[in-house]
Amino acid sequence: MALSQGSVRDQFEMVSILGRLPGIRLIADGRNPVLMAAWRWTDPDPFRTISLSLSVFRVYLPVGGSRHGGIAVGFSVTIVRLALPSSCIYSISIIFSSQSMRKLPIVVLALFVFIALSGCQLGNFQLGKSKPPPPNPNAPKITRSDPVINTGRKAVVLSVHLKKEFPDACMLGMTLTNNMDIKVTNLSVRLTAFIRGNVKYDAITRNFTQIKPTESEYREATFMKIKCSEIDFIGVTDPGRCAIGEDMNRFTAAPGDCAKFVDVAISPHITMRKTKQPKPAVSEVDPLE
């Protein structure tokens, strides 16, 4: 038996484990292989390869002071993983005589258990799967669906089909699809997050440009310092900035004319509503966001 990787103590313990299997005899003078076969398998882990080999030896066994010829079978398993910083090579070989052939299923089972349980870490040999990294507490919970691209009328369809829930933020992914017969050169939509009590929390404006008929464009909006579950609904308004076709070319604070082209699709991730934006006072200027 040969075992690589790890300290002498680890190797001795592995020899002891496999040496306790009934009927297995370790033969040190196996020579002259008469049959050899090898099998190689690449793990889903792109850096790990498992190799199996089978050898049949003609050996000479000491019996009653004389040497008698016989047959021995050897199995070898090698696991190689090349991935920094935990590159390693594990190799184990078992040779046993024809007298213990009836124990072959036990040996094969032991080798496959070794493959299934073999870990790969820095330092000494470790029998057992490597522990997965702890979950990232800040990793977002992601839900997605297919975007809605048609509402049954000629319009541009705004569909929220992606949501990333962070501990202290809410990101929404949306697609604007042009179902009209004219080109959308420029179209802005304002997304306002409302919390309980119909209170405005924050507003984000996203701009879509150069969308030809049947084409679409993707944008994302992230509301900071708030969880997705704390948002009651998202109000979609028209900041009055659009250039659609040849007749509609506006860049003004007066809302309404652009909104008539937009349909807001129902989203399974968050409540979406098309709302009206009140006209600002004469002294107010619509900020560019």
* pLDDT tens string 154-213: 999 999 999 999 999 999 999 999 999 989 988 989 999 999 999 999 999 999 999 999
* pLDDT tens string 21-72: 333 333 333 344 444 555 555 555 555 566 666 666 555 555 555 555 556 6
Q: With a cut of 50, say whether residue 20 has pLDDT above it.
A: no
Please say whether the dihedral angle defined by the alpha carbons of residues 216, 217, 218 and 224, taken in this order, is positive or negative. negative
Please give the residue range of the domain that contains residue 161. 141-274
Q: Is residue 65 situated within a structural domain?
A: yes
Cis peptide leading into residue 85 (ω within 30°): yes
Domain check: are 155 and 57 in the same one?
no
Which residues is 178 bridged to in the sheet? 156
Q: How far apart are CA 178 and CA 211, in angstroms?
A: 7
What angle is formed at CA 63 by the lines to CA 60 and CA 64, rounded to 5 degrees? 145
- In contact, 181 and 166? CB cutoff 8 Å: no
Q: Is residue 72 situated within a structural domain?
A: yes
pTM over 0.85: no
* pLDDT tens string 71-80: 666 666 665 6
Domain check: are 169 and 228 in the same one?
yes
- Cβ within 8 Å of residue 91, ≥6 positions away: 2, 3, 4, 5, 76, 77, 78, 79
Domain check: are 148 and 86 in the same one?
no
**How many distinct structural domains can be found in the chain?**
2
* pLDDT tens string 128-141: 445 567 778 778 89
